[in-house]
């Protein structure tokens, strides 16, 4: 199937940059722009200016590293930026400061500002957006776009002073009248229906999705809710069956009004429209009362109670909803610990869904972190990702995270990347000592230190 790119304008994440956020003490940059070291089959041509040229954009980025090296913190930093954009005006306390997560292991940096930036394509035009905040207020904020290939100012802010560009200048000035020190102008402008900035705001709301262990219950609720839609239902069932879990169907039973409301809230929470409630208000898999139908002896089928389903089945069920939505809308799906409780072959097929233009015609993107070296491959033929789609995290001496791409190490095209990664050739692997492990459990060895 060939998609005519002139019929729609795909969105895309080109890069994310930040500094002094979570375990990242210094500047970090993750790029999804294709390079000469990549595989052409994994690059998509995305228009990035009006009536102009395209850029090669990657469909997948995988982050690998040891436990505690900061893989999850990269995705959390992106989610922090998203939450500021979506909630700083709508849900923020006018006198509550700016909630943030600076690097904590350096006392001198705790009070220093944090910076967040994205480079994205929205509506077929490249946009640059970013801000700098401290614990109290927005220090700087800016937005540019590239309608003709060159940067054009939308706005630039320093505290309460805002410089406006030529586009929708009156609307931008009107937004200043209700701008708070601890609210982003982008968040404020969306509430005021600023058309140009609303498109950028909607990218954060609709085109940037997150899946981690913390959101699993809400994702399971989202998948359950999507079963009510005939088009979604068929795709969800097909993905359940394709996973070789022995599942043939999914049946919903009558839900009580409380759980029905939780299902309605699930999508709003996952899209950042509504904040997660405090306490244990997440719907459990058992409360959803989804009965997955399994193959049974003699060619029969049988419904199993939700409590009897394996953890792997629950994890896959909670991932399917966001996957289907991302592929349909061309969104960025960020998944933490993609291989947790899932077989490597199943994870590989999920990566292929995003890499293959036949199954991903809307240019959706998948960002994930993993410990699974089989995803890296050892030959060009079994390589699921191009060399420019692989990133590593490792802890440096002061406890901060360093993010770097495989391309910095200039691997050969025929290199056995998975094998060399396990051998520690690229770094980003734990340094372990059997003697230290043994000493921890054997008293006579422990006493020798």
The predicted structure's pLDDT at residue 280: 59
User: How much is the average pLDDT of 236-261?
Assistant: 84
- For residue 114, give the nearest of 139, 85, 95 by alpha carbon: 139
**CB 401 within 8 Å of CB 394:** yes
Give the global pTM.
0.91
pLDDT of residue 447: 54
Question: Which of 14-23, 109-118, 136-145, 440-449 is least confident?
Answer: 440-449
Q: What is the pLDDT of residues 200-212, one digit of tens each?
A: 999 999 999 999 8
* DSSP secondary structure, 355-379, as one string: H-TTT-TT--EEEEEE--GGGT-SS
Which stretches of 298-433 are DSSP H helices?
311-329, 344-355, 417-422
Higher-pLDDT residue of 246 and 430 is: 246
20: region left, alpha or beta (phi > 0 left; psi from -120 to 50 alpha)? left
Among the CATH numbers 3.40.50.300, 3.40.50.2000, 3.40.640.10, 1.10.240.10, which is that of 1-207+330-449? 3.40.50.300
Higher pLDDT residue, 341 or 38?
38
Tokens describing residue 56: 């090669």
E strands of 48-151, at which residues?
Answer: 54-58, 60-65, 114-122, 125-133, 138-145
Between the two ends of the chain, the Cα-to-Cα distance in Å is: 65
Q: Give the chain's mean pLDDT.
A: 88
CB 214 within 8 A of CB 207: no
Question: What residues contact 289, with CB distance under 8 A and at least 6 apart?
Answer: 252, 253, 254, 255, 259, 306
Domain boundaries, the chain: 1-207+330-449, 214-322
Tell me the residue ranges of DSSP E strands in 193-246. Answer: 208-211
DSSP SS3 for 145: strand
Q: Mind listing the pLDDT tens digit for each residue in 267-295?
A: 677 777 677 665 556 778 887 778 899 99
Question: What whole-number distance in Å separates Cα of residue 32 and Cα of residue 28?
Answer: 14
Distance CA 311, CA 301 (A): 21
Give dist(CA 149, CA 135) in Å, integer.
36
Give the dihedral sign, CA 220/226/232/237: positive
Report the C-alpha gap between 70 and 74 in whole angstroms.
7
């Amino acid at each position: 199937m060939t998609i005519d790119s002139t019929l729609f304008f795909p969105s895309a994440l080109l890069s994310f940059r930040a500094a002094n956020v979570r375990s990242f003490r210094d500047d970090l940059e993750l790029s999804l722009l294709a390079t000469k070291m990549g595989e052409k089959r994994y690059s998509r041509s995305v228009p990035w200016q009006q009536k102009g040229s395209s850029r090669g954009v990657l469909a997948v980025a995988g982050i690998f590293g040891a436990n505690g090296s900061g893989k999850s913190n990269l995705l959390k930093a992106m989610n922090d930026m998203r939450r500021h954009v979506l909630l700083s005006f709508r849900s923020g306390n006018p006198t509550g400061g700016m909630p943030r997560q600076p690097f904590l292991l350096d006392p001198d940096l705790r009070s220093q500002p944090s910076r967040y930036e994205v480079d994205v394509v929205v509506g077929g035009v490249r946009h640059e957006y970013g801000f700098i905040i401290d614990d109290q207020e927005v220090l700087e904020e800016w937005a540019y776009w590239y309608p003709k290939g060159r940067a054009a100012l939308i706005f630039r802010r320093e505290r309460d002073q805002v410089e406006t560009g030529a586009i929708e200048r009156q609307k931008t000035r009107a937004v200043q009248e209700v701008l708070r020190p601890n609210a982003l102008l982008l968040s404020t402008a969306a509430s005021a229906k600023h058309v140009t900035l609303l498109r950028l705001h909607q990218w954060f709301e609709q085109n940037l999705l997150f899946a981690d262990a913390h959101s699993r219950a809400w994702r399971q609720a989202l998948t359950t809710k999507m079963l009510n839609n005939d088009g979604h239902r068929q795709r969800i069932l097909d993905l359940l069956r394709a996973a070789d879990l022995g599942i043939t169907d999914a049946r919903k039973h009558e839900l009580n009004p409380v759980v029905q409301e939780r299902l309605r809230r699930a999508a709003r929470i996952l899209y950042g429209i509504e904040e997660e409630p405090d306490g244990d208000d997440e719907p459990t898999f058992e409360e959803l009362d989804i009965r997955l139908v399994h193959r049974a002896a003699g060619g029969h089928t049988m419904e199993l109670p939700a409590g009897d389903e394996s953890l792997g089945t629950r994890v896959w069920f909670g991932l399917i909803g966001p996957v289907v939505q991302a592929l349909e809308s061309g969104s960025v799906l960020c998944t933490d610990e993609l291989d947790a409780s899932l077989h490597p072959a199943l994870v590989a097929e999920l990566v292929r869904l995003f890499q293959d233009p036949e199954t991903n015609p809307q240019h959706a993107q998948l960002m994930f972190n993993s410990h699974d070296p089989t995803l890296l491959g050892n030959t060009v033929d079994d390589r699921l990702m191009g060399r420019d789609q692989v990133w590593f995290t490792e802890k440096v001496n002061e406890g901060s995270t360093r993010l770097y791409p495989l391309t910095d190490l200039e691997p050969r095209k025929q290199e056995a990347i998975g094998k060399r990664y396990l051998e520690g050739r690229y770094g980003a692997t734990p340094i372990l000592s059997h003697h230290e492990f043994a000493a921890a459990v054997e008293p006579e060895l422990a006493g020798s230190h």
